[in-house]
Chain A
Amino acid sequence: EDKVVQSPLSLVVHEGDTVTLNCSYEVTNFRSLLWYKQEKKAPTFLFMLTSSGIEKKSGRLSSILDKKELFSILNITATQTGDSAVYLCAVEEASGTYKYIFGTGTRLKVLA
């Protein structure tokens, strides 16, 4: 059975800290891995990764994929209270049709 596992489930840090969120997957027909940020409403897109070892970066956020070891990490440096959210990892799977398998998310709380 295809699955996506995120860790930790929740995390509390102080402003300025750096955090690393993990996403491992077992998906038969991998197409891409996506990271989203969710703040009590619809998820907003952060990154899409398709190739191993190529870092995607946007400001203080960065992400990388390891297709051999089947995992991805999302790094947030110099965290701010506005980074408090649930971070979702999803894997796009293609077995004739395309669908997305989501992990349970990591709930991040950044304290001032």
Chain B
Amino acid sequence: DGGITQSPKYLFRKEGQNVTLSCEQNLNHDAMYWYRQDPGQGLRLIYYSQIVNDFQKGDIAEGYSVSREKKESFPLTVTSAQKNPTAFYLCASTSGAGQETQYFGPGTRLLVL
């Protein structure tokens, strides 16, 4: 079955620690996106990538980093510079052609210890 997988489902971060959230897709999609969702809020764009080895900052990129070394994978690192990382993180992808829906992964819930 084609789709997007995210792992882990839940992640706990200690202060000063960097953590990496995984996002993998087997849809052969060119474009991938990371969003953050806080309780009662919509989705805010962290980073997005239209093609391998290229990515752009979204609206709230500070404290986060990404890489796009393979078409199928777009991992997100939450660095220690992100002071309030507790949120629900969603990864999405599209073919990149435009005028299409995004396919979403199941999400990772990050909690700070």
Contacts and interface: CB of A to CB of B under 8 A. Distances in A.
Contacts of B45: 99-101
B58 A42 contact: no
B25 interface: no
Interface in B39-90: 40-45, 48, 50, 56, 58, 90
B107 A41 contact: yes
Contacts of B94: 98
B90 A42 contact: yes
B99 A99 contact: no
A99 B100 CA distance: 11
Interface in A22-74: 31-32, 34, 41-43, 45, 48, 50
B106 interface: yes
Chain B: interface residue count, which band? Answer: 20 to 34
A42 B96 CA distance: 20
A91 to B, nearest CB: 12
A99 B107 contact: no
B98 A31 contact: yes
Given A34-B101, A41-B106, A41-B107, A103 B33 contact: no
A88 interface: yes
Nearest to B101: A45
A32 B90 contact: no
A99 B41 contact: no
A50 B43 contact: no
B105 interface: yes
A25 to B, nearest CB: 13
Closest 4 CB pairs of A and B: A42-B104, A102-B42, A102-B43, A104-B42
Interface of A: 4, 6, 31-32, 34, 41-43, 45, 48, 50, 88, 90, 92, 94, 97-105, 107
